[in-house]
Amino acid sequence: MKSLDIGLAFELRSDFKPPPGAPTDSLEEYDTRETIDALAGAIGDMGHRPHLLGGGRDFLQAMLANPPDLVFNNSEGRHARSREAQVPAVCEMLGIPCTHSDTVTMALTLDKALTKHVMQSAGMRTAPFRVAADLVEVDRVDLAFPLFVKPLAEGSSMGVRVTSRVNDRNALIREAQRCFTDYRQPILIEEFLPGFEVTIAVVGNGDDARVLGSMEIAPAHGAADAFVYGLESKRGYRELVRYHAPPRNISAQQCAAAEALALASYRVLGCRDIARIDLRLDAAGRANFMEVNPLPGVSPISDIVVMAELLGRDYSSVVSRIVGEAIRRYPALL
Q: Quick check: helix, strand or coil at residue 330?
A: coil
* Single-letter amino acid, residue 87: V
Average pLDDT score over residue span 105-119: 97
Pairing state between β 210-219 and 197-204 = antiparallel
Question: Which of 7, 98, 3, 2 is CA-nearest to residue 51?
Answer: 7
CATH node for 194-329: 3.30.470.20
271-329 pLDDT, tens per residue? 999 999 999 999 999 999 999 999 999 998 999 999 999 999 999 999 999 999 999 99
| Beta strands per DSSP E along the chain | 5-9, 49-54, 70-73, 129-132, 147-151, 165-166, 187-191, 197-204, 210-219, 241-244, 273-281, 287-293
pTM: 0.95
CATH class of this structure's domain 128-191: alpha beta
Domain extent listing, the chain: 5-109, 128-191, 194-329
| Helical (H) or strand (E) element with 327 | helix 315-329
152-194 pLDDT, tens per residue? 999 989 999 999 999 999 999 999 999 999 999 999 999 999 9
Q: How many percent of the chain have pLDDT more than 90?
A: 95
- The third-level CATH classification (topology) of the domain covering 5-109 is Rossmann fold (3.40.50)
Average pLDDT score over residue span 328-332: 94
